[in-house]
Amino acid sequence: MRINRIVLCSGCVICGVALCSGAASAGITISFSDASGLAGEAEFTLVNATTLEVRLQNLSTGAPGGFSNSDQLLTSLAFDLGGLGNTAGDPTITGGTVFTGASSTTLNFSITNVGANSDVSGEWGFGNGGTTGFFSHLNYFSANGAGATAFGATNMDGPDGLDGPQGGLLANPAVVALGGLGAIQDEVIATLTLSSGIADLSFLSRGVTFEFGSDAAFFDVPAPGVLAMLGLAVIAGRRRRRA
What's the mean pLDDT in 133-157? Answer: 91
pLDDT number for residue 17:
33
Task: List the one residue out of 206, 155, 192, 217 whose CA is nearest residue 44.
Answer: 192
The parent domain of residue 141 ranges over: 3-242
- pLDDT average, residue stretch 159-164: 86
At residue 214, the pLDDT reads 95
pLDDT surpasses 80 at 25: no
Given a contact cutoff of 8 angstroms between Cβ atoms, the answer to whether 116 and 102 are in contact is yes
Burial of 78 (0-12, 13-18, 19+ CB in 10 A): buried
The number of domains in the chain is: 1
Give the predicted TM-score (pTM) of the model.
0.87
Which is it for strands 125-127 and 139-142: parallel, antiparallel or unpaired?
antiparallel
pLDDT tens readout for residues 68-119: 999 999 999 999 998 776 778 899 999 999 999 999 999 999 999 999 999 9
Report whether pLDDT(235) > 80. no
What residue spans of the chain are helical by DSSP H? 226-242
Alpha carbon distances (Å) from 136 to 74, 208, 237 = 19, 9, 33
What pLDDT is stored for residue 27 in this prediction? Answer: 84
